A = this chain, B = another copy of it.
Amino acid sequence: MTEPQTIPVLDKGFVRLVDAMGDDRRIVQAARVSYGEGTKTVREDAALIDYLMRHRHTSPFEMVEFTFHVKAPIFVVRQWFRHRTASVNEISARYSVLKDEFYEPTPGELRAQSKVNKQAGEGRLPAAEAERASALLAAAGRDVYARYQELLALGVAREQARSVLPVGIYTEFYWKQDLHNLLHFLRLRLDHHAQAEIRAYARAVAEFVKARVPLVWRSFEEHVLNARTLSASEL
């Protein structure tokens, strides 16, 4: 059982490691079932892990498992839950009244709409616009939460009243996933195509992974994160 630890993310969120099973040696041990007895030193273990990573022998990486407790805004969670190879438990907004905690980026954290990449924010807003936008966002949270409370006070069911709550509100969930699919998640969500907010969470998750399976992490950086694929005509 790993020591619980918590890494704060964004203004009110966090990633906490609840538990993990297996480590670098488990991967080697599982691979050895296939390839017979063999490597013994850390150096040989590292070489075997590197071989598996390079040749996409991904099944041994599935032998390691992580469970996280995460607090994040709904719009981040919506992106996160598109990854289906995981087990999840989330707060029910039918069962509980959600708290008034919204993602409120500071003026300096607001990004301008990119002209080139239709899908992303890019660069800072001018100071005045940023101030105005940040204030707007804060006001939006306050106003909407007052309405939510009014709906509840009128007796409206929580499951319907919550329909006014914004996707910037914080929610919490447990996330359990094996290392192979977690690395796949990290590859996609550490990438600069991913939205900055989920990238902040991915970096926190990566910290825990790196600490648990250092040999795998080095190999992942070498062969995946910092590798480059040349297409047939580029070769």
Which residues of A does B touch, CB under 8 Å?
Answer: 19-22, 26, 30-31, 33-36, 54-56, 59-60, 62-63, 65, 67, 69, 73-75, 78, 81-82, 84-85, 87-96, 102-103, 105, 110-114, 118-122, 125-126, 129, 132-133, 136-137, 139-141, 143-144, 147, 150-152, 154-160, 162-168, 172-174, 176, 178, 188, 193, 195, 221-223, 225-235
10 A-B pairs with C-beta separation under 8 A: A34-B91, A62-B87, A63-B67, A63-B87, A84-B85, A102-B163, A111-B156, A111-B160, A122-B157, A228-B230
Grouping DSSP codes into helix (H, G, I), strand (E, B) and loop, the A interface class, with mixed when no group exceeds half, is: mixed
Distance between A38 CB and nearest chain B CB, rounded to angstroms: 11
On whether the beta carbons of A229 and B227 are closer than 8 Å, the reply is yes
On whether the beta carbons of A231 and B227 are closer than 8 Å, the reply is yes
Instruction: State the 5 A-B residue pairs at the shortest beta-carbon distance, nearest first.
Output: A121-B157, A163-B168, A62-B87, A226-B232, A84-B84
